[in-house]
Structure 1
Amino acid sequence: MNQNLIRQINKNLLNAQKRGMSFRELAASCGVRSRQQREFRECLRFLEAKGKILDRRLKLYHTEYLDLSMGTVSRLMNTFGFVTLKDGTEVFVPGKYFLGAMPGDTVLVSPIKARGDSPEGEIVKILKHGEAEFTGVLCQDGNGYYIEPDNLVRFNMPINKRDLKAAKIGDKVRCVITERGLSHSDHKIEIVETYGDSQTAANCAQALLDVNGITVEFSQEVLSEARNISKRGVHESDFAGREDFRNEIIFTIDSADTKDIDDAISLKKIGSYYELGVHIADVSHYVKLGSALEKEAYERGTSIYFANRVVPMLPKELSNDICSLNENVDRLTFSCLMTISEDGKLVDFDFKKSIIHSRVKGVYKEINRILNHTEDDSIKQKYSGLYDTLFLMKELANILTRNKLGRGSPEIETSESYIVLGPQGTTVDILPRTRGESEVMIEEFMLMANEAAASAAKLKQVPFVYRVHEPPSEDKINNLHTALSALGVTCNDVKLGMEPKVLSRLINQSKGEKIYPIVNMLVLRSMSKAKYHEVPIGHFGLVLENYAQFTSPIRRYPDLTIHRVLSELVKGTPSQKVTAKFEQFVVKSARRSTETELNAMKLERQCDDCYKAEYMKLHIGEEFEGIISSVAPHGIYVMLPNTVEGLVKVSNLPQGQYDFDEMFQYKNLNTNQTYRIGDSIKVRCISVDVSAGNIDFETVE
């Protein structure tokens, strides 16, 4: 590429500013001779692909003078979509201004007048096409066939009968665009995969995995490494340099169906101090830097969980076997040993490579029964000899919880679901996921170990991957203040730079009041998303200066990363050498881990929505009592006691003219009937779309 010619093109178009230049004018001003025409065109194509120049209305412009921004199409909805700019800003784009762009496309966006506070724009140029894969449902209209896409602008996309392959009407399919048109309905497409009935959740979940590039299977190279490690097992030669804790009272506490058990606990009290041990599977001992396993773990970033399925970060030979802290077998671990005062302060900590022998696979429900004195004889026998430790754990956890609330950590309520599948793999029940005392215990102990890990890295001043949670942004704080004021809630201290205890106080003061669900929802929406970062900026929600994630290296890559750093410190490697080795590595790890976590969370939610819709398909026509969970321009969302959420469209509200306050309420101007977040409401399930994960309700008078 002729760099001198590129500089000339940039210079001349910048000088032309908003008037632009024709092809002939630009060529002349750059001194392009006839034999250079081909090279000149190549430079123009290169700069256009980089988003530096734009060919518009037979003129060339430098994008700096057109108020254009380059970004990536991140989402497409029914009649609109979003483009994410390089700085992370999300721009709303109405469907008519999309130019047929697809998720993953690199585009240039021009700003348009916004109807609200968020920026809006139109796509003026598609610079680079993404893979353009999408899923949808095969439909028929007369003699013609079309795909109704999922999560795209809802233009039906025609497809020729000869391209249907084995797909049947109503099947979930994955498609690829073979030829681009000027709008979504003009694209030429073909089916690349057929999954079966689109009203079966398992088919829809598999389609979601595939279109998001999530591979369930591992390569032969990765499997071979994992099998060799598992086959070798644990040998005495592995014990060198490790603390032997096999005679200590150490055991795991997890769900009954958990197979990838990566943490075990020990606790004793010496004088006025608690000695807490959190023993984590030493995954970094097996997964070496540069190995096929390591590269695979980096790409996946995290395990993905939905319904009864797990897409693991590491093969089951590791995650369910040699790295899983199963009972009655020797396992290699990385132990965080903490000394905690009677008032719950972390007095001292140490990290050691170790070996443990778990006494029992503890189960949350069983231990909860012990702690509330409702256990049966079989539970007593299983946990014989562990009672004193369990009640000591409860004692310490209560102190740690009290401290967390005392720091001002907001107690925000969220709803999680437990999906029950029948023998055929279809949804037979949805239950709210509850937390008992043992779940809280483990959470508090993991938080303490994570705090110790971050503190160790800061103390030694070595590169690390921190779990950070920034304070709410100025826009979110302003929105929260406006909404609370409209509710009549005193909120003078809701302002930029506020401490977490301000939000905690808002929630606590509203408990028991009718406005509590609204306040809880508003505070939740004001929160930033937690992420991974190489800079320890603290965790706003937990009110901690030092926080990382040390406790799940089987299923989270950032945990595996910090195990490597801490392993070097345990070996006695000087901080300067640790810094030289990991300084760039932790930056890459933090960014990749944040990206894969966000993708996994979105995918898990979409899959679970399909399973919930599958369950409600069995209950169409039935009536339910629910709570209004949120409101939107298109209707009100109602959550049932089992955590299933559905939409009452405005058209399915009782007859009348409605006013929407754009915050938390609809009001019928004819009857003065209000529909407000937190209100109880009776609804009837009227339709379900498993493929889209949508459930529609109507109100019942």
Structure 2
Amino acid sequence: MAGKAKKKAPEKKGAAVSVESYKHKIVTFLRQNSKSTMPVAQLETKCRTKKNNRENFVTAFAELRDEGVITVRKGVKAALCSDLGLKVGEVTRLSRTFGFAVTDDGTEYFIPGKCMLGAMPGDRVLIADIASRTGEPEGEVEDILSFGSSALTGRIEKADGELYLVPDIAQRNHMIIVRDGSVPFAEGDKVLAEIVFRGRRHAEHKVKITSVFGSSELAASCAQAILNIHGAPGEFPAEALREAKKISEGGVQEFSLNNREDLRGLPIFTIDSAESKDLDDAVSVSRTDKGYLLGVHIADVSHYVKANSELDKEAMRRGTSIYYADQVIPMLPKELSNGICSLNPDEDRLTLTAFTELDSEGNILGYRFCKSVIRSRVKGVYSEINAILSGTADSSITEKYSSVADELPLMNELADVLIAKKQRRHAPELETTESKLIIGEDGICRDVQPRERGKSERIIEEFMLTANESAAKLAREKQVPFVYRIHETPPEEKTAALCEALTKAGIEYPHFQEFKPAHAAAILDNVRGSDKFEAVNMMVLRSMAKAKYSEEPLGHFGLVLEDYAHFTSPIRRYPDLAIHRIITDILAGYDKEWLNKRYSGFAVKAAETSTNAELRAVAIERECEDCYKAEYMKQHLGESFTAKISGVTEYGFYAELPNTVEGLVHIRTLPEGEYDYTEPVALTEKFSGVSYRLGDTVQVICAAVNVSDGTIDFNLDEEE
């Protein structure tokens, strides 16, 4: 009868109870139980398990345990994880004496090494809260729900006459190597291993060696291990290479110039580092009655790399080119990246152009995109153009740039206008120093230098930002699927931590209810030029959210822009290639409905895969750089250096040299005493009052180096 609930049909006598039914029963009985735990045997009886149906109960129980819904105490008592306050999370990283795990709700837990239960990165675990020493969430691993990857890298060391694996994570533990199934290895090798037995502590795990990369004392060998463990792409698939070769051999076809604007007569040229081979952006500037017309001409990679081709599938899988030391793992085969797509001088090249009209204050008056063909006048080099702008260029440099001599002052002028505009909208000027590794012919790092950033680098940065903003504006205006570059407002807990750190450091800051870019800019401006700037710059940087790709136009906090995308590097970034494809179809006249149907799912997938690929590339580049820096410092063991304290922890502080090399001064090497930790700014000896604070200058000695895991240990130079 309508409106009357139907009675649930009774289970037929002897009918099997399904796994899902058992899962429901188990949770219900545990929830109704007056105590927090119940013997498993009693729970089984309550569920009225029939002997011939016990298998489904066992399966249901196991699934609930794997899902982190229930747990077993002392091997015999079941309980709901929620009743015990347990949380499900994933181990994200391990250090020598501790680890971190992130729960499913996004909370990061610090886990002391003795509380890890042998868990490895990627493992799904149950976490119980324990008393925190810092106020931040701290926990212990109650149970391992599922194992992550069993692969890990490390070095072979000898102890008590036996060879062991010392992994790059949880480095203090010597893991037993099972000889059966292991490839040949020797003391000092950098290796890839696979865990074949899991213990309750890291030291109880057993491994077999699956690959040997070479000496762990060579950064090049360690880099190969890093690439392997992160799953960096290797050789291109044969079909993708065949496609690339065919495109390259075909050259720039005459018919490809049809329906393209011919810009070969304009003074267009590229500006890159001297070693760059994949030149994907060129620029031009002219003066107008209202201000300026900026042309940013980007390699039309989408003309060659068609949707769903083998090249396209491989490019999306790679997501980005990976640069480390003097090596590159390209997103596209060299026939494209260094060949037909590269905007080499004096060669016809197909491009997608963004023309942006700007007024005298740098405001965007309008923009226009078009398919084009260009012929770059010269391969510009940052250092050479910096010399021209500073008036220090010699005659050979002046002659090289004679065909674009009139454009350089105008470009410099426009860049100043755009920089002033950025300052007016209170974009925080965060400073990051990149490292330049000087690698010898033998592959060994011979020097580390801070990468210089002159005016020409700033010019190109401002021009690319403008083109990127114009591309995002176009997509928003047309209301079509797109891949945006977004940078969200910092999480409230991070801004609260920033304020607390600034207070402890004695640095004034503007009070706010909602953190805005202007507040970050004011904090930096208050200390710019002082000895505290580097420390505060790092504090603000760490408080920021991570930039990522999204199909939603959520804006860019750091740049203070509502519209932003990555448009300018389709040779080395997939999101740029993705939006080139969309813009091309906009220019071809396809309507909004068609574009939505074709690109909605594509934009979501491209954003997600590109973000993940970027995270992988950043991790690889950072870890490889650490190994090469350690290799360089090996040549300077025992030498004294002036450094600045770049980070403070409860176990010591990090000191950074002027060349960007960073090392740890461990608390056990400091003058004897009892030290209080004021997170995250200072270590202070209780009785003498001697303090080591973020931003302080210290004299250090390079005491130890480990190339294999990229770590450097400094000691204070007590003679200074």
TM-score by length of 1: 0.95
After superposition, residues 394-413 of structure 1 pair within 5 angstroms as 394-413=412-431
Which residue pairs with 2:592 in the alignment?
575
Query: What is the CA distance between 1:538 and its match in structure 2?
Result: 1.5
Corresponding residue to 2:94 among 68, 76, 85: 76
Which residue pairs with 1:113 in the alignment?
131
Distance 2:505 2:127 in 1: 37
Distance 2:372 2:34 in 1: 66
Which residue pairs with 2:578 in the alignment?
561
Query: What is the CA distance between 1:17 and its match in structure 2?
Result: 7.6
Of 158-167 and 70-79, more deviation after overlay is shown by 158-167
Which residue pairs with 1:634 in the alignment?
651
Distance 1:397 1:329 in 2: 27
CA RMSD across the alignment? 2.0
Amino acid at match of 2:552: V
Aligned: 1:256 with 2:274: yes
Which residue pairs with 1:454 in the alignment?
472
Query: What is the CA distance between 1:494 and its match in structure 2?
Result: 3.5
- The answer to whether the 8 A contact 2:182-2:210 is kept is no
Aligned: 1:41 with 2:64: no
Distance 1:250 1:320 in 2: 19
Change (3 A) 1:14 1:658: closer
Change (3 A) 1:8 1:226: farther
Which residue pairs with 1:537 in the alignment?
554
Query: What is the CA distance between 1:571 and its match in structure 2?
Result: 1.4
Which residue pairs with 1:611 in the alignment?
628
Which residue pairs with 2:314 in the alignment?
296
Aligned: 1:508 with 2:521: no
Unmatched tracts of structure 1, length 5 or more: none
Change (3 A) 1:505 1:162: same
Amino acid at match of 2:601: Q
- The answer to whether the 8 A contact 2:36-2:80 is kept is no
Which residue pairs with 1:182 in the alignment?
200
Of 157-166 and 122-131, more deviation after overlay is shown by 157-166
Distance 2:115 2:42 in 1: 30
1:95-151: CA deviations, max 9, x gaps? 222221211222222333333232222222222222221111101112222111112
Amino acid at match of 2:502: L
- The answer to whether the 8 A contact 1:18-1:66 is kept is no
Aligned: 1:361 with 2:376: no
1:589-637: CA deviations, max 9, x gaps? 2222222212211221111011111111111111112222221112121
Corresponding residue to 1:419 among 421, 437, 447: 437
Corresponding residue to 1:173 among 181, 188, 191: 191
Which residue pairs with 2:389 in the alignment?
371
After superposition, residues 81-100 of structure 1 pair within 5 angstroms as 81-100=99-118
For residue 598 of structure 1, give the secondary structure of its aligned residue in structure 2.
helix
After superposition, residues 420-435 of structure 1 pair within 5 angstroms as 420-435=438-453
- The answer to whether the 8 A contact 1:80-1:153 is kept is no
Change (3 A) 1:570 1:596: same
How many residues of Structure 1 are paired with residues of Structure 2 in the alignment? 700
For residue 585 of structure 1, give the secondary structure of its aligned residue in structure 2.
helix
1:456-511: CA deviations, max 9, x gaps? 111111222221112222222222222222333332x3334132122212222222
Unmatched tracts of structure 2, length 5 or more: 1-17
Aligned: 1:224 with 2:230: no
- The answer to whether the 8 A contact 2:495-2:515 is kept is no
Amino acid at match of 2:655: V
Distance 2:188 2:416 in 1: 53
Distance 2:81 2:580 in 1: 45
Aligned: 1:130 with 2:148: yes
Which residue pairs with 1:318 in the alignment?
336
TM-score by length of 2: 0.93
Query: What is the CA distance between 1:162 and its match in structure 2?
Result: 6.0
Aligned: 1:658 with 2:641: no
Corresponding residue to 2:490 among 457, 468, 472: 472
- The answer to whether the 8 A contact 1:95-1:153 is kept is no
- The answer to whether the 8 A contact 2:95-2:169 is kept is yes
Distance 2:63 2:393 in 1: 71
Distance 2:148 2:503 in 1: 44
Distance 1:475 1:564 in 2: 39
- The answer to whether the 8 A contact 2:481-2:596 is kept is yes
Which residue pairs with 2:641 in the alignment?
624
Which residue pairs with 1:490 in the alignment?
508
Amino acid at match of 2:318: R
Distance 1:667 1:109 in 2: 33
Amino acid at match of 2:595: V
Distance 1:320 1:362 in 2: 16
- The answer to whether the 8 A contact 2:648-2:680 is kept is yes
Of 263-272 and 435-444, more deviation after overlay is shown by 263-272
Query: What is the CA distance between 1:549 and its match in structure 2?
Result: 0.8
For residue 437 of structure 2, give the secondary structure of its aligned residue in structure 1.
strand
Change (3 A) 1:326 1:77: same
Which residue pairs with 1:499 in the alignment?
516
Query: What is the CA distance between 1:9 and its match in structure 2?
Result: 4.0
- The answer to whether the 8 A contact 1:82-1:92 is kept is yes
Which residue pairs with 1:32 in the alignment?
49
Query: What is the CA distance between 1:164 and its match in structure 2?
Result: 5.8
Which residue pairs with 2:664 in the alignment?
647
Which residue pairs with 1:692 in the alignment?
709
- The answer to whether the 8 A contact 2:297-2:353 is kept is yes
Corresponding residue to 1:335 among 353, 363, 367: 353
Aligned: 1:586 with 2:621: no
Amino acid at match of 1:201: A
Distance 1:120 1:656 in 2: 26
Corresponding residue to 1:149 among 145, 167, 190: 167
Of 206-215 and 522-531, more deviation after overlay is shown by 522-531
- The answer to whether the 8 A contact 2:702-2:714 is kept is yes
For residue 265 of structure 2, give the secondary structure of its aligned residue in structure 1.
coil
Which residue pairs with 1:206 in the alignment?
224
Change (3 A) 1:20 1:676: closer
Distance 2:486 2:344 in 1: 31
Distance 1:547 1:473 in 2: 20
Distance 1:639 1:617 in 2: 16
Change (3 A) 1:298 1:406: same
Query: What is the CA distance between 1:255 and its match in structure 2?
Result: 0.6
Distance 1:354 1:32 in 2: 74
Amino acid at match of 2:716: T
Amino acid at match of 2:653: I
Distance 1:16 1:231 in 2: 75
For residue 406 of structure 2, give the secondary structure of its aligned residue in structure 1.
helix
Which residue pairs with 1:521 in the alignment?
538
Of 95-104 and 6-15, more deviation after overlay is shown by 6-15
- The answer to whether the 8 A contact 1:81-1:153 is kept is no
Which residue pairs with 2:12 in the alignment?
none
Which residue pairs with 1:381 in the alignment?
399
1:274-322: CA deviations, max 9, x gaps? 1111111112222222222222222222111111011112221221112
Distance 2:292 2:563 in 1: 21
- The answer to whether the 8 A contact 2:183-2:211 is kept is no
Query: What is the CA distance between 1:10 and its match in structure 2?
Result: 4.2
Query: What is the CA distance between 1:670 and its match in structure 2?
Result: 4.6
Query: What is the CA distance between 1:653 and its match in structure 2?
Result: 2.3
Distance 1:374 1:583 in 2: 52
1:394-440: CA deviations, max 9, x gaps? 11001001111121111222221100011101011111111111100
1:330-382: CA deviations, max 9, x gaps? 22211111111111111100111222111111111111111112212221222
Query: What is the CA distance between 1:4 and its match in structure 2?
Result: 4.1
For residue 402 of structure 2, give the secondary structure of its aligned residue in structure 1.
coil
Amino acid at match of 2:355: L
- The answer to whether the 8 A contact 1:153-1:184 is kept is no
- The answer to whether the 8 A contact 1:103-1:132 is kept is no
Aligned: 1:271 with 2:272: no
